[in-house]
Amino acid sequence: MDIIGTTQELMYIILTGVLIAMIIVAIFMVRSLLKYTELKQIRLSKEIEYKELEEENRNRTAEYSNSILEMIRNMLAQIAILKYRTFQDNHDMTKINKTILESLVRDVAETAHRSLNGNIFSFEDTFFTQEYYEKYIAETSAALIKQMWEKDIEEHEEI
């Protein structure tokens, strides 16, 4: 046997093996790259979908929060009108002081709180906390009673 021939054959076998290994690695890398690209596209489409859903949920939450505030405002207006009319019928309006008006405001707010105690809505689905709604009820009750009181004063001054 010729050593040079055997060495060349051995080199040929080794190079063929290396070439086959490189082709297999290249195929694996191409498949991996394709899979990575596919997964990245899926992730990006899911992120876009998530952002769209997040925006849609934010809009629904805003609408829901506003509708709850409107419902509370309407309920408070009805309660305040009824309580104020009863208050007018039972009191000499010339002898009303701040303390008496504050108790009327407190009564309106407490009546509203009792009406809402059935948890007709979930605070988790709104932008606002329960504390915010409680503060809103108190401040709106005070504003409504003050508005009716001032209107009453103006009407009495005109007479």
> Tens of pLDDT along 60-71?
888 888 888 898
Q: Residues 69-83: pLDDT tens digits? A: 898 899 999 999 999
In which band, very low, low, confident or very high, does the pLDDT at 34 lie, cut at 50, 70 and 90?
Answer: very high
Spatial separation of the C-alpha atoms in residues 41 and 88, rounded to whole Å: 69
C-beta of residue 87 within 8 angstroms of C-beta of residue 104: yes
Under the banding of pLDDT at 50, 70 and 90, the label for residue 3 is low
- Using one digit for the tens of pLDDT, what is the confidence trace for 76-107? 999 999 999 999 888 877 788 888 889 999 99
Does residue 158 register a pLDDT over 80?
Answer: no
Tokens (6 digits) for 158: 């005109």
Q: How confident is the model at residue 127 (pLDDT cuts 50, 70, 90)?
A: confident
